[in-house]
A and B are shown apart, each in its own frame.
Chain A
Amino acid sequence: MAQSTAAPTPTTQILTPLPLRAIAPWAVFVGVLMLVLLYFVGAEQGVTSLVSGEGVHEWVHDARHLLGFPCH
């Protein structure tokens, strides 16, 4: 079985880690932006309201329940 051991398998190449310095700025800015999106789907107009009224809560009502967030 010399052939199979000699053949390089491209899928087992070890990937070099991405430097943390390259990830950090994206993680901070886009990460926070994504958390804001999650807040609007999961919790806006529940305990805290950034937009007045019940519109956002009512619009995403079913998604909020089915995704597992406490809704009301």
Chain B
Amino acid sequence: MNSATVRTLLVRGMLAGLGAGVLAFVFAYFVGEGSVDAAIAFEESHAHEHGEELVSRSVQSTAGLATGVLVFGVAIGGIAALAFCFALGRVGRFGARATAALTALAGFLLVYLVPILKYPANPPAVGDPDTLAKRTSLFVLMIALSVLLGTAAVLLGRRLAPAWGNWNASITAGAAFVAVVGVAMAVLPQGDAIPRGFPAADLWEFRLASIGIQAVLWSAFGFLFGYLAERVLEPRAVRGRVATLAA
């Protein structure tokens, strides 16, 4: 149990992230691209001057989308594997697979779902290019806040657990997280307004697709990485189960 184990888990995390990225890309292509095209059609119908097209739509929606989602998958896979190494044996009586699933759930909630409650994903045509700098820094700030407060909540829960029991400690830590994040969301400035006439159904469909892509990515990562990590950390448990199945 040393540096070599961390390296093995890191490599497996990145591989699991790549695999999860493939699934997320397939989902994104079939579920998300329709609403991106609808938004671009809206953008073009509103006399928006355009420079020459650098990358065609058919490349953006296939190879471009795949590149972005796969690289994102590898990167979050590596970071989540490092978080898993920290969490292992430190967050409660969980085995490798359960720790991987919890890490993935925490990643989905803290890196994506909580930040987008304040700053939701926007399709093309929504968002003023002049405010991009402000929106980018607020989005990064929201992610950082959410991850820091989520980590603090886990530490709080672990500290309260011996005296209060796991159930009460977890609920208290969760409620504290919701309360502090809620205050942060109320204080931070609003995102951009939706342009007049942008179809509400297209916006809803786009945001739902975005949530779906991230849900596919993180859950696939959790299950794939749990399977791969267990083989490194608990080979006896894996062999025992295989023997039981074969008998």
Segment of B132-140, B146-154, B174-182 engaged in the interface with chain A: B132-140
In this complex, how many residues of chain B approach chain A with their Cβ under 8 Å: the count is 67
Q: Is B172 an interface residue (CB 8 A)?
A: no
Interface pair B234/A66, CB less than 8 Å apart: no
Other-chain contact of A62, B68, B82, B90 (Cβ < 8 Å): B68
Q: How large is the interface on A (under 10, 10 to 19, 20 to 34, 35 or more residues)?
A: 35 or more
Interface pair A15/B89, CB less than 8 Å apart: yes
Contacts of A17 in B (CB 8 A): 88-90
The interface centre, meaning the residue of A22, A31, A34, A62 with most chain B CB atoms within 10 A of its CB, is: A62
Interface pair A60/B68, CB less than 8 Å apart: yes
Interface pair B210/A58, CB less than 8 Å apart: no
Q: Is A3 an interface residue (CB 8 A)?
A: no
A-B pairs, top 8 by smallest CB distance, nearest first, are: A63-B68, A60-B68, A17-B89, A68-B121, A37-B75, A58-B55, A70-B135, A10-B237
Contacts known (A10-B237, A22-B3, A65-B124); A30 close to B69, Cβ less than 8 A? no
Chain A to chain B contacts (Cβ below 8 Å), 13 pairs: A15-B94, A15-B99, A20-B86, A22-B2, A30-B78, A62-B36, A62-B64, A63-B28, A65-B122, A66-B121, A66-B213, A68-B120, A71-B122
Other-chain contact of B85, A23, A46, A58, A67 (Cβ < 8 Å): A23
Please give the residue numbers on chain A whose beta carbons come within 8 Å of chain B beta carbons, in ascending order.
Answer: 10-20, 22-23, 25-27, 30-31, 33-35, 37-38, 40-43, 46-47, 53-55, 58-72
Please give the residue numbers on chain B whose beta carbons come within 8 Å of chain A beta carbons, in ascending order.
Answer: 1-3, 5-7, 10, 28, 32-33, 36, 54-55, 59-61, 63-65, 67-69, 71-72, 74-76, 78-79, 82, 85-86, 88-90, 93-96, 99, 112, 115-116, 119-124, 127, 129, 132-133, 135-137, 139, 206, 209-210, 213-214, 233-234, 236-237, 240
